[in-house]
Structure 1
Amino acid sequence: MTTRLAHTRKGSGEPLLLIHGIGHRRQAWDPVLDRLAESYDVIAIDLAGFGESEPYPAGTAYTMDNACRIIGENLEEWGVSQPHVVGNSLGGAIALEMGARGMARSVTALSPAGFFRNVGDRLVALFALILLKLSSYLPLAVVRPALRSAAGRRLIGRTLYVNGDRIPVEDFVGDALALRNGSAFFPTFRAGFTYRFTSKVDVPTTIAWATRDQVLVYGQSGLAQEVLPDARHVALPHCGHVPMVDDPELIVRVIDTTVAEASESEEQAA
């Protein structure tokens, strides 16, 4: 039996799969979910061992091979084949891997993992993620008062967002609990620290990088352009590592453009 992935499905149209980053949950896509559902059959998933999804069975490694396999098995159960895939951070790397393996009609990767230029880039991500993980263990009695003010939410969320004050208090708390309880965090983190994306993606692909990313810094977009010269590369100005919060309208436009490019390519090939 495959590992069951918790998911939210909404809308109609071409299938669009949304994949969150390490330590996050499918609610990361809430700022854009309803807008995307106006045009697509949107499926936002919790990766195995995150959010409400069960972890892998004991002894199963948190590798890209297993991530793609489990997602593919769940998509098959849901009656979905080759969706357009959108991912952020770890989810962006998985989206690219799915594109390279023929599992996606198009790929939109938002600040994707897998393009570290040097040890410095890896250390920035290491410290940022460990700090986030440790902060999730703060008692809620301490955190809630700080979250009640917009300034507090902006300060606490500054590693991931420019505009963390836009996130409701209960959503902030839910994200913290998901990060605290995510059993897959450390095994995924260990695997991801040495991961590098080197494959070719033959479907329409967009790499969109947040210019104010404090986890996977914007300079890594240059390496992404070298590795994937045929992809469309765009900047996400004034956005942090999770850009769906900072500029949801821009993220929807980026996704729409990628999907439209895929449709045009398929029409030309027909």
Structure 2
Amino acid sequence: MNMHYLRRGTGRPLLLVHGIGGSLGSWNTIIDALAAERDVIAVDLPGHGKTPPLPGENSIGTLADALTAFLTTHDLLGTDAVGSSMGGRLVLELARRGGVLGAVVSLNPGGFWQGWEIPVFYHSVAISQKLVKALQPVMPAIAGSAVGRTVLLPQFSAQPWAIDSQQAIDEMHTFANTPVFEELLDRLAHGEVQKAAPQGSITEPLVIGWGRQDRVCLPGQARLALEKFPDARLYWFENCGHFPQWDQPGEATRLILAATSRHAFTDESIARRKSAKDSAPAVPKAAVIGGVLALLAGGVWLLASRRK
């Protein structure tokens, strides 16, 4: 199928794959920095942004097939790739299949939850999406203020007040208006589990990056991700939630460029934790508590509305 995409920069091609409810705009925080060194191709996945849904099932398997077809059509098989959230799982799946991608960076990939984590993920994200949809008429005012972002986005960001207001407004718009959201969310939570890639089967560089404060894909899930992808190297983002490209854009850019350059690097060289530019204060407990209470209150309100 034809996917809407943006291509910018020169050099070795680099594919960017967003998460559920996102779009190619999800990469706005780092795309310019990446395009300064690479030929960047950011896509709208089927049913997201300006790309129509697939005619049949929308799942990890069918999205992976669609991405493979896109890369084949544009003579990009073997290109390096970065994925975020659901996109992180997609690039892992394509790396597992072999022959589709080159070096891969998977940021906070979904699909490695187990037991009680499954309903927590499913219901918390489902409630968030319904709340965001209900709040669309006033979303510019809410997401346009630091206080509003602090209350609205602590599930997704370790420092929501610091997110660019237009980035937050745009992301909440696509989050609320993705036609395949409910189908994909159900498939992610209750569909086919991610298959493993035996050790030695992935020969290109593979890095899994995870935010220490991720409240969507909990940090403990990194253990299962490494068990299923033993050839991967794990990198931890400190003071970072579900989207490193939002909370630590400079660090995320350095990791992506280093991992896909195929040059040796150390975690310390990527982190530069003493850099004031890349560091931000930890989340105030009041902001986290307030955001969680707002999410719970919204869930109660939605349930009450349905009963009425």
Match of 1:17 in 2: 15
Offset at residue 262 of structure 1 (A): 7.5
Match of 1:189 in 2: 185
Match of 1:44 in 2: 42
Query: Which of 1 and 2 has greater Rg?
Result: 2
1:130 and 2:131 are equivalent in the alignment: no
Distance 1:182 1:104, change over 3 A: same
Unaligned 5+ segments in structure 2 are 265-308
Equivalent of 2:89, from 88, 93, 101?
93
| Partners of 1:251 and 1:43 in 2: CA distance | 17
Match of 2:260 in 1: 259
1:156 and 2:152 are equivalent in the alignment: yes
8 Å Cα contact 2:144-2:166 kept in structure 1 = no
| Partners of 2:130 and 2:61 in 1: CA distance | 28
Distance 1:148 1:191, change over 3 A: closer
Paired letter, 1:113: G
Match of 2:101 in 1: 104
Q: Deviations over 1:36-66 (max 9, x none)?
A: 0011111111110011111111xx1123332
Match of 1:32 in 2: 30
Offset at residue 163 of structure 1 (A): 2.3
Q: Counterpart of 2:158 in 1: which secondary structure? A: coil
Distance 1:67 1:32, change over 3 A: same
Q: Counterpart of 1:136 in 2: which secondary structure? A: helix
Q: How much is the aligned-residue C-alpha RMSD, in angstroms?
A: 1.9
| Partners of 1:238 and 1:230 in 2: CA distance | 26
| Partners of 2:142 and 2:243 in 1: CA distance | 21
| Partners of 2:205 and 2:176 in 1: CA distance | 36
Match of 2:248 in 1: 247
Q: Deviations over 1:22-45 (max 9, x none)?
A: 111111111110010011111111
| Partners of 1:123 and 1:63 in 2: CA distance | 18
Equivalent of 1:113, from 110, 115, 128?
110
How many residues are treated as equivalent by the alignment? 259
| Partners of 2:163 and 2:36 in 1: CA distance | 22
Paired letter, 2:25: Q
1:54 and 2:55 are equivalent in the alignment: no
Unaligned 5+ segments in structure 1 are 264-270
Offset at residue 84 of structure 1 (A): 0.6
8 Å Cα contact 2:163-2:247 kept in structure 1 = no
In the superposition, the TM-score normalised over structure 1's length comes to 0.89
| Partners of 2:160 and 2:212 in 1: CA distance | 16
| Partners of 1:260 and 1:175 in 2: CA distance | 29
Equivalent of 2:196, from 194, 199, 203?
199
Offset at residue 222 of structure 1 (A): 1.3
Which moved further from structure 2: 171-180 or 243-252? 171-180
Paired letter, 1:70: A
Paired letter, 2:235: V
Offset at residue 128 of structure 1 (A): 2.5
